[in-house]
Structure 1
């Protein structure tokens, strides 16, 4: 059996993306960040990590991969993530009564919860 160890995402600014995701998810750097690479892991030690690598690939309008984030306090968490630099995405694929919000991180990697 295999499991997800680390999700790897491209970022146009690795340090800025790392600061966002550390604050958003309570992650810490496994080793000191480099200009082009960092691996973030859960502060508590268990769970999947998030690696950020420098990328100059253009952001896809509708990314093929995103992160689903879960919380019992959606409105408060959306506000908190926006305060950290996330932005609401004007997504034309919302169902009539969505139970999620689509946000883009400061590097415009799409994710929803």
Structure 2
């Protein structure tokens, strides 16, 4: 079973984005952020995580946002998603990556992460 774990939001300025989105959504950092990455969660209650990541691209010419889908059995879910129309993205993975990058039928990328 898949669930939305995070909406990953690509930004040019991580501290500025943290300041904006924590105020806009009443969120807080899950743990101390790094200069290029932060995970924000609701201050109270439950909700989808917002992962802020630094990108070098401009918003108008590159996809900067995507979903991270959490799976208890990543490989089974990847195979299921491929059967229903997803495709594998051309992606260079770091060693030990815990995720697989796929594309939906329209070419929008998303990640399936072992959780």
4+ long deviations beyond 3 Å:
61-66
Over 3 Å counting, the alpha-carbon distance change for 1:5 and 1:45 in structure 2 is farther
Conserved in 1, the CA contact under 8 Å of 2:11 and 2:64? no
Output one character per residue of 1:35-86: Cα deviation in whole Å (capped at 9) or x when no partner: 10000001124110101111011112696869xxxxxxxxxxxxxxxxxxxx
- Secondary structure of residue in 2 paired with 1:35: coil
> Is 1:33 aligned to residue 33 of structure 2?
yes
Partner of 2:80: none
Partner of 2:3: 3
Partner of 2:47: 47
Partner of 2:78: none
Unaligned runs of 5+ in 2: 67-115
Shift of 1:30: 0.3
CA RMSD, 1 decimal: 2.2
Conserved in 2, the CA contact under 8 Å of 1:37 and 1:53? yes
Structure 1 length normalisation: TM-score?
A: 0.52
Structure 2 length normalisation: TM-score?
A: 0.51
Unaligned runs of 5+ in 1: 67-113
Rg bigger for which structure? 2
Conserved in 1, the CA contact under 8 Å of 2:41 and 2:50? yes
